[in-house]
């Protein structure tokens, strides 16, 4: 049996659909969109866990070393711009 759909899920879906349409209209490449989402998602999970990599990695469903590598990659890209 499937879970009941909350009132928030359709609104979130509509906002995500609108954001995707806007990104396509602006000519943003898929790889850029994925990277930006990942950076934002990781940053928010880290913020909510006060920078604790272990807890953030558990919530994200990735290994702590993978999370560290992603953070380092984004910092390096930011510094090269």
Q: Give the model confidence (pLDDT) of 39-74 as tens digits.
A: 999 999 999 999 999 999 999 999 999 999 999 998
Domain residue ranges in the chain: 29-80
Q: What is the pLDDT of residue 4?
A: 57
Q: What is the pLDDT of residue 66?
A: 97
CATH class of 29-80: mainly alpha
Contact assessment for residue 57 and residue 67, using Cβ atoms and an 8 Å cutoff: yes
| Secondary structure of the chain as H, E, C letters | CCCCCCCHHHHHHHHHHHHHHHHHHCCCCHHHHHHHHHHHHHHHHHHHCCCCHHHHHHHHCCCHHHHHHHHHHHHHHHHHC
Q: What is the pLDDT of residue 69?
A: 96
DSSP 24: H
Model confidence, pTM = 0.77
Q: Give the model confidence (pLDDT) of 9-33 as tens digits.
A: 789 999 999 999 999 999 999 999 9
């Amino acid at each position: 049996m499937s879970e009941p759909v909350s009132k928030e899920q359709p609104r979130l879906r509509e906002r995500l659909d609108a954001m995707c349409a806007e990104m396509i209209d602006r000519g943003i490449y898929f790889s850029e969109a994925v990277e930006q989402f990942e950076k934002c998602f990781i940053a928010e999970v880290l913020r909510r866990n006060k920078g604790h990599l272990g807890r953030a990695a558990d919530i994200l469903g990735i290994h702590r070393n993978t999370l560290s590598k992603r953070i380092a990659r984004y910092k390096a890209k930011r510094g090269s711009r």
